[in-house]
A = this chain, B = another copy of it.
Amino acid sequence: MIISPRLERLRDAGYKLTTARATVLGVIETHEGHMTSAEILDEVSKRDSSIGRASVFRTLDLLTRLAIIRPTYTSGSATPTYVLMPDGHHHHIVCVQCHQTIEFEDCGLGVLSERLEAEFGVKLTGHLLEFYGVCGDCSEAGVVDDEG
């Protein structure tokens, strides 16, 4: 079992470091990008076929509660894609036509985060910022032609 720094955050929070949890997190860390649950299940199974389906979902839920990953709606279908939050935050642009995502880094939301903590008496551990619109490819293709 590989114990990554992120995995240790589970132990710090009082959870056991199990093979199932290490494997799921390992898969997500390796992939670095959005993954559907199907992809995660598949890859986990390849690495250790003894890990059960339920544990994968339980781990995804746990990692979400610990703000290590975050489910987001990018694909047209019902399925969320899970994305790692390397430093507690993640930002992207989603094309509402083709569902492609463009990732970007800087957000400048630190100040707002602190203000919100004070204002609402919460402890914030991360954020997700998602812009949506139509990407260059799709506007050229003229999927929605509402001008002219």
Contact = CB atoms under 8 A, between A and B. Distances in A.
B121 A136 contact: yes
Copies in the complex: 2
A132 B70 contact: yes
B130 A134 contact: no
Contacts of A148: none
A71 B13 CA distance: 30
A27 interface: no
A128 B130 contact: yes
A122 B146 contact: no
Contact of A112 (B107, B117, B124, B126): B107
Nearest to A136: B121
B122 A102 contact: yes
A31 to B, nearest CB: 17
A77 B60 contact: yes
Contacts of A51: none
